[in-house]
Amino acid sequence: MRIEDKIALARGEGKVDLLLSNCRMVNVFSGRVEKASVAIAGDIIIGIGDYRAKKTIDLKGAHLAPGFMDAHVHIESSMVTVPEYARAVVPHGTTTVIIDPHEIANIFGVNGIRYMINSSRGCPLNVFILLSSCVPATEFETSGADLTSQDLAFLWGEEQVIGLAEVMNYPGVLSRDPEVMAKLKAAGTRPIDGHAPGLSGKDLNAYIVAGIRSDHECSTLSEAREKLARGMFIMLREGTAAKNLEALLPLCTPRTCPRCLLATDDRHPDDLITEGHIDFMIRTAIRAGIDPVDAIRMGTLNTALYFGLSRLGAIAPGYQADLVVFDNFKNFKVERVFKAGRPVARKGKLTLKGWEPKLPHLRGSVNVDWLGLGEFSIKAKNEKAKVIGVVPGELITKKLMLSMKTKDGFAISDTRRDILKIAVIERHTASGKVGLGFVRGFGLRSGALASSVAHDSHNIIIVGTNDGDMMTAAIEVVRMSGGQVVVDHDEVKAALPLPIAGLISPRPLTDVRRAITRLNQAAHDLGSPLKDPFMTLSFMALPPIPALKITDKGLVDAVEFKIVPLYGEG
């Protein structure tokens, strides 16, 4: 539309395409709720007020808000494709997501990022990309790709690419690692997201001065306050694995609210279906006493301003007509969603037809050298062993020192004390590498669990009570070209194939949810007390998060950032 035509329509000369009348408009600029009508022409808001229109929808006093925005999410962690993800979140009012595709980038590198870009085209969802800065996340694991600053240079020109994703390698920032410096410099003035749990004092100053302006890893109020006071935008996270929203809501005051954003990070199918998405976070914030307009602003305008998305995040002339109709602040139930001026969802269902893009093709990604792999045997020693201690509901773990149960000169699982064997098999290059250790907290009395979802390099991770079931589980994951499985007495009890990068199912979200429910129930039947054993398992291989993790290269002390032996204090 020509600028002259926009001006004419805004002045009331001619008819707009759509008028949403009789609504309570949430004004994220003034902080007020206004009785208003909103005029739309094409994909933009032309004006606020009474206009002649080709079509009028009477909202009958319902509330109207800007489309919700997720400031940081890994879509791959939902285990569904981008179109299926859009089908799930748009009816909840989410019209924009800022994604870091580092899960699939760890498998396929640049091609993985391009896959996510191409998968999003045509979706009724704005998908903006931050280029993955840490692939692999650390040197202590084997990934399927190694994204250098030169690799990322091929992607900076993509229209959807708007910044650099979470810089997990904060030791690399502080030590001025040349490759980390090159990525930061290449980002220029674009947004650079942070990931620095527990970073404080002068090290935090140094991290921020490098150009990193946000953090989604705050788990305590004091940490969030320090980072906000030093100029960072704080992403209040409420995912499936990490839930920090309620703990951090006291951070949000009328003065600090503009620096607070809402993010899910990782949100699994069951939570998307039963709780929702950003709408759930806004509802939770309102019920906790946050001013309703401030709560909505954290999930709309604040995100748009941080990422420089000047046409999104508000209801005002010239803004894209991404709009959410909801009942009231108490229930906060989304009733309708408009995307770029078109009605796309109503009463929890996507109504838009004929938009589904054809998904790009990816090669297989699960490659294991069975001959070079050997067994999962661990020789016994007369020393205590390091054991990963699970902390339910958290990404962090404990570093335990425990004596091992032995048999015929080998250390074995001890179900009575809930000490189980854990293994990570490299699955990208068929190197035959396997890391072995022990973990406490899974509670299995028999059997084994295995998954090709193991953040961030996504090798095959297995926990079990015996070597035979662990091997059967690993074989089944490879047979499915990636996935998750529960095995007991050499029998597959439940399975979820994830043939796209070993991370994603081509099936609908509801099918994936049912499969995950069966997996978790099968794990519970074997004795696990964890709400979501597979989610917990997936984070046992994440070296950037303290304290003790395991990769295909062995045990990693995630505090000292080094590979450590299984036995002894070293």
pLDDT by 10s per residue, the chain, length 570: 899 999 999 999 999 999 999 999 999 999 999 999 999 999 999 999 999 999 999 999 999 999 999 999 999 999 999 999 999 999 999 999 999 999 999 999 999 999 999 999 999 999 999 999 999 988 899 999 999 999 999 999 999 999 999 999 998 999 999 999 999 999 999 999 999 989 999 999 999 999 999 999 998 999 999 999 999 999 999 988 788 999 999 999 999 999 999 999 999 999 999 999 999 999 999 999 999 999 999 999 999 999 999 999 999 999 999 999 999 999 999 999 999 999 999 999 999 998 988 889 999 999 999 887 778 999 999 999 999 999 987 888 999 999 999 999 999 999 999 999 999 999 999 999 999 999 999 999 999 999 999 999 999 999 999 999 999 999 999 999 999 999 999 999 999 999 999 999 999 999 999 999 999 999 999 999 999 999 999 999 998 888 999 999 999 999 888 999 999 987
Using DSSP, state whether 479 is helix, strand or coil: helix
Domain with CATH 3.20.20.140 in the chain: 67-309
pLDDT at residue number 240 = 84
- The beta strand positions in 257-368, using DSSP E, are 260-263, 323-326, 334-339, 342-346, 349-350
Residue with tokens 């964890």: 530
The count of residues in the chain is 570
pLDDT at residue number 395 = 83
Residue with tokens 């996935």: 483
Phi–psi pair at 475, nearest 5 degrees: -60, -40
Q: How many CB atoms lie within 10 A of CB 6?
A: 17
Q: Is residue 228 a contact partner of residue 204, using CB atoms and an 8 Å limit?
A: no
Closest listed residue to residue 194, CA positions, set 214, 224, 172, 219: 214
| CA–CA dist 173, 186 (Å, integer) | 14
Enumerate residues 6+ apart whose C-beta is below 8 A from 164. 130, 131, 133, 183, 184, 186, 187, 190, 191, 192, 193
| CA–CA dist 514, 270 (Å, integer) | 9
Between strands 334-339 and 342-346, the pairing is antiparallel
Closest listed residue to residue 133, CA positions, set 206, 204, 203, 210: 210
Which H or E element spans position 178? helix 178-187
pLDDT at residue number 372 = 75
pLDDT at residue number 371 = 80
Which H or E element spans position 67? none
547: cis peptide before it, omega within 30°?
yes
Closest listed residue to residue 241, CA positions, set 222, 212, 264, 221: 264
Closest listed residue to residue 23, CA positions, set 79, 81, 64: 64
Enumerate residues 6+ apart whose C-beta is below 8 A from 117. 127, 129, 158, 160, 161
Closest listed residue to residue 422, CA positions, set 406, 444, 403: 444
Six-digit token string for 258? 């503009």
* Distance linking the first and last C-alpha atoms of the chain: 67
Instruction: Tell me the CATH architecture of domain 67-309.
Output: Alpha-Beta Barrel (3.20)
| CA–CA dist 97, 79 (Å, integer) | 16
Half-sphere exposure of 428 (CA within 13 A, CB side): 21
pLDDT at residue number 396 = 87
pLDDT at residue number 452 = 98
Half-sphere exposure of 305 (CA within 13 A, CB side): 16
Enumerate residues 6+ apart whose C-beta is below 8 A from 275. none
Q: How many CB atoms lie within 10 A of CB 508?
A: 15
Six-digit token string for 553? 């290269």
| CA–CA dist 200, 204 (Å, integer) | 5
Q: What is the dihedral of CA 409, 413, 414, 418, to 10 degrees?
A: 150
pLDDT at residue number 172 = 93
Closest listed residue to residue 65, CA positions, set 19, 27, 20: 27
